[in-house]
Chain A
Amino acid sequence: MDFWTDPYLFLVNWLHGLLVGWGLPDAIASFILMFAGAFVLAMGAMLFVLGLIWFERKLVGRFQDRFGPNRVGPWGIIQPLADMLKIFTKEHITPAGVDPLPYNLGPVLAVAAVLAIWAVLPFTISLVGADLDVSVLYVVAIGGLGEIAVVLSGWGSNNKYALLAAFRSVAQLLSYEVPLVIALLVPVMLSGSLSLNQIVREQGVWYIVLAPVAAFIFFIASIAEVGRSPFDLTEAESELVAGFNIEYSGLKFGMFYVADFLHAFTISLLFAVLFLGGWRGPYAEQYPLLGLVYFMLKAGAVYFINIWMRASFPRFRIDQMMGISWKLLTPLAIGAVILTAVIDKLLPGGELLPYGDYVRVGVMLGANLVLVVIAGALMALQKRKHMLQEFPIAASKGFTVRDVSVNRGTK
């Protein structure tokens, strides 16, 4: 084992040898290393947020034609550190009449729920916290905990705005969990495994090429699940002041901030694992650390699109948000699952056909395209029917009324 081929495994083996050399039993040495690994990963993820905050503030600044942070350090790169130092010394104001257990558990659980996902992410071929054989299910299960943190803090705050935000967050979780989980079935099916690392290994062809519709649904649904803009109804400042975190101050508020940024990057990482081939790339199997670079670049690209969306789109109304999930994403996700299942079974294996892989990709892409066209046609039909009901005269003359729902207002 050479240091330069895989520094991580080399380091682990060296430390293990060192501990055993000191006379520790093998099991205890492994346990200590495991604990140290988990601590370094969790701490690294938390500190990584400082970089994310800088990246996002800078980018959002640029999108809005401003400079973003540019005073503290070169390109303002020390700004998040300064903010962190400040927030550490702020007073914790606890409002009267809060329910102490949920109120204090909320921010802790919010961060823990996101961090826990990092335990199963395959960063390189060998650098995986825990290579569970059910890590997809684990991610789905743990992902829901973040919403529970929102509910806990909204309920415990003894504030009506916070409570309303908690209600909304439940509605959002309920709606977007369904298309998210159904879209996740597609990479599981294509790879035949529930392990994230196995899914990456099977991706000779990136799954975004084989299943673009599922990738799109996963992308949208994961943003909604995390509650980022344009789905940040839990923090709608024009209606709910600050949403569920209104009564928090100091580092307790800071923890929600950390959780938000980390969550946004974690879903980008998940997207890169499931649809962009994770650590795969040239020479990634010989030199695993190169895989980490590819992985971070892919996730960074997804994160960039994430911020782009945040900077570009206005917030949805709650009925629109529920409509998108139940009337568009869920049927589309089910369609994508059925299509992938049937077509992949009907197609003979890659080795039987000449250019088998290309044929497979072509057929899959075509099938996804057909699905999108059908969905678009159904939506157009629905809209036409709706307009004939609401504006019979204008619609019969062929006029189109832009954005009917705005004119009608909420019921």
Chain B
Amino acid sequence: MMNAWLYIGLFLVIALALPAAAIFISYILGPKKPDPVKRSVYECGIETVGETWVQFKAQYYIFGLIFLVFDVETVFLYPWAAAYNQLTLFMVLEAVLFILILVGGLLYAWRKGALEWV
């Protein structure tokens, strides 16, 4: 098993290095003639106004909260699913109960209008 993780580590390094090397080679091969107009920020031909990195209204932050709940839920459910063959019906029903409580949460959010894009 350690070998498998070593392979993953090697593979990640190679996966990062390959595109980086390709970009580097292309950077050496390509022409380099920057000028101020070419380097200006693209905005439909007019000059950009103000800063780009402004505070922006993230309309989906409630979705983010619900996502967090479900993501944590699935972390609990994966071990349960992997051990499914050894479980008795009672243990399965317990997990179903756990899921149904979260479904209740989803329905509540739905009724409260949290799932509407505003």
Contact = CB atoms under 8 A, between A and B. Distances in A.
Interface of A: 30-31, 34-35, 37-39, 41-43, 46, 87-97, 104, 107-112, 115-116, 118-120, 129-133, 136-138, 155, 158-161, 163, 167, 170-171, 174-175, 177-178, 181-182, 185, 188-190, 192-194, 241, 246-247, 250-252, 254-255, 258, 318-319, 322-323, 326-327, 330-331, 334, 337-338, 341-342, 344-346, 411
Nearest to A98: B41
A136 B78 CA distance: 10
Contacts of B14: 35, 38-39, 42
B52 A158 contact: yes
Contacts of A330: 70, 106
A189 B44 contact: no
Given A181-B71, A330-B70, A192 B82 contact: yes
B115 A326 contact: yes
Given A192-B85, A319-B117, A331 B103 contact: yes
B48 A88 contact: no
A132 B9 CA distance: 12
A334 B99 contact: yes
A214 B9 CA distance: 31
Given A159-B52, A163-B52, A255-B22, A119 B11 contact: yes
7 contacts: A104-B23, A158-B52, A181-B70, A182-B74, A185-B78, A250-B27, A251-B22
B63 interface: yes
B25 A88 contact: yes
A170 B11 contact: no
A255 B25 CA distance: 13
Contacts of A411: 118
Given A129-B11, A167-B56, 8 more contacts: A34-B6, A34-B7, A38-B11, A90-B26, A115-B15, A163-B52, A174-B63, A338-B99
Contacts of A87: 26
Given A129-B7, A132-B4, A112 B33 contact: no
Chain A to chain B: the 9 pairs with minimum beta-carbon distance, closest first: A319-B117, A251-B26, A115-B15, A192-B85, A130-B4, A111-B19, A119-B11, A112-B15, A130-B7
B89 to A, nearest CB: 5
Contact of B60 (A34, A39, A171, A345): A171
B89 A346 contact: yes
Contacts, number: 226
A163 B57 CA distance: 12
Contacts of A163: 52-53, 56
B82 A119 contact: no
Interface string B1-41: 10111111011101110111011011101111110101111
B106 A331 contact: yes
A189 B99 contact: no
Contact of A43 (B10, B18, B32, B70): B18
A155 B54 CA distance: 11
Nearest to B86: A192
B15 A116 contact: yes
A231 B40 CA distance: 30
B108 interface: no
B29 A88 contact: yes
Given A88-B25, A92-B30, A93-B38, A108 B70 contact: no
Given A115-B18, A137-B78, A93 B92 contact: no
B42 A95 contact: yes
Contacts of A132: 4-5, 8
Contacts of A46: 18-19
Contacts of B99: 334, 337-338
Contact of B95 (A182, A258, A331, A341): A341
Contacts of A170: 58, 60
B10 A34 contact: yes
